[in-house]
Amino acid sequence: MGEGLKKALVGGFAVLAVGCLAYIAFWDERSGVSTSLADHRFLQDINTGKNYRVDITVKDYGPYPHKNRSTGEMSLYPTEVCYWDECGEKGGTRVILNTWRKQPEPTKCPVCGHTVRVHNPRPPGYKDDK
């Protein structure tokens, strides 16, 4: 009886652990989806470097570039944010990646010179509440 109960308990814990992992994985996926479905996006005009906060509607989900409503040109591209050095102190510098410019070189931040990539990581110790 003692041995059987022990086995049942171990089995129960295993099921619980798997359940927790599944829950965490599900949660990660959920938060990823909610981020990509945000109702606005920061786009930059590739010609002027000006940033625009663009409200996204379903029909805006087409491929980039998007139309700049101020100039009428198809020149708006998505940006990554650089938070290194002075960029972090200013709350981030938005950068269009070189892949959008059809250039093979890694993208460098025009302000601090750090490499910027997709889902650009923040420097260690960077605090959002700066």
User: Where along the sequence are the contacts to Zn ion (CB under 5 A)?
Assistant: 82, 84, 87, 93, 109, 111-112
Nearer to Zn ion, 97 or 111 (CB): 111
Rounded least distance, CB 97 to Zn ion, Å: 13
- Number of Cβ within 10 Å of residue 65's Cβ equals 17
Q: How far is the CB of 65 from Zn ion (least distance, A)?
A: 23
Rounded least distance, CB 82 to Zn ion, Å: 3
Q: What is the C-alpha separation between 78 and 41, in angstroms, rounded?
A: 8
State how far the Cα of 86 lies from the Cα of 114, in Å rounded to an integer: 11
Nearer to Zn ion, 7 or 90 (CB): 90
CB of 91 to Zn ion, least distance (A): 11
Cα separations in angstroms, 7 against 10, 13, 88 = 5, 10, 53
**In this complex, which beta carbon is closest to Zn ion, that of residue 43 or of residue 95?**
95
Q: Which residues pair with 77 in a beta bridge?
A: 44
